[in-house]
Amino acid sequence: MADKNESFETKDFGWLVAMSLLFLALVAVCFWLEFRTEWGPYQRQFPQLLGHYGKGQEARDFQPGIQQIWIPKIGVTDRCITCHLGYEWSSVLPATIAEPLTPHPTNDWMTKHEFAKFGCTPCHGGDGAATTVAGAHQGGRGWEDPMLSNALAQQNGLAMNGMIEMRCNFCHRHDAATPGMDEINLAKVLFKKKKCLLCHVVEGRGGATGPELTYEGDRNPELLNFAHVTGDHTMFNWNVQHLTKASAVSPKTAMPDFNFKPEESRALTLLLMSWRRLTYPPEYIPDPEVAAAAMQPSPTSTVTPTPSATPVAH
């Protein structure tokens, strides 16, 4: 039987020691996990790169940790730059530096779309809030905005810049044509030429024979019938084959077979998938007349302006 005069401190001493050791172990594990982050090695390497290329003060000022571009007005929280630290150092770091420290290439698009205003994911897709490669590039459950990549482009018979055009059209939707957006420009011509508004409603205009297309890019692919579709069961693939020959994909459809060429079907699909329910502030929406004027050939040139370099996916 315990001594009645024994203090509570004496009784609980063993438990206190055990809990203290457990707490110490948890702290050690937290430090270990922080040290073992995927982005840790890149952040230790980056200041060395800056110093090597003559930016010693910037190297000393570099603060390790999660980096992000936060733009509340368009709902962007992009932590991509936690790994892609060289993104805005193209004037200092050579393009030959391996990913993810490679600087973003400079081109005509970038002069009008600075990182502080647009971030990364509006153009490249991906889960900007993630801090792991798998999370940022592949996403988790319920994540439906894949990061654009050369592999994904090739899988769908596209070039990387063509896929990015789809996202450019989030803001450039009302341009009749936009400099540097050949795929989307082709699709807009075809959409008008084939008189798609006779059957489809887009932003309150058009016929009601076919489904409304105003926000076609938000359509859930699980609602599509893939019974007559070959290849991947994706929204993109369904639309490409449906536009190529509607009767083959949807035998009872009222939509005629336009027999578009593959490149035409892909361009139209990019256009349809760019029509999403996204809200951008007025200052993000370009003036369609300015885009139209830019597409007009100058008196001394008949060349349509195009980006000087193809953007790459982070």
Q: Write out the residue range of the structural domain in which residue 106 sits.
A: 43-147
314 C-beta neighbours (distance < 10 Å), count: 25
Whether 69 and 197 map to the same domain: the answer is no
Residue 22 lies in a domain: no
Render pLDDT for 11-21 as a digit per residue (tens, 0 to 9).
Answer: 677 777 788 88
- pLDDT band for position 293 (50/70/90)? confident
CA-wise closest residue to 46 among 5, 88, 8, 12: 88
Averaged over 266-279, what is the pLDDT? 95
Q: What total number of domains does the chain contain?
A: 2
7 C-beta neighbours (distance < 10 Å), count: 9
How far is residue 54's CA from residue 268's CA, in Å, rounded to a whole number? Answer: 48
Whether 164 and 281 map to the same domain: the answer is yes
Round the average pLDDT of the chain to a whole number and report it. 87
Domain-ending residue, one of 147, 178, 204: 147
As to burial, measured by CB atoms within 10 angstroms (0-12 exposed, 13-18 middle, 19+ buried), residue 112 is exposed
Which residue bears the tokens 């302006």?
Answer: 305
Query: Higher model confidence: residue 249 or residue 23?
Result: 249
- pLDDT band for position 305 (50/70/90)? very low
User: What tokens were used for 121?
Assistant: 């994911």
Render pLDDT for 69-93 as a digit per residue (tens, 0 to 9).
Answer: 999 999 999 999 999 999 999 999 9
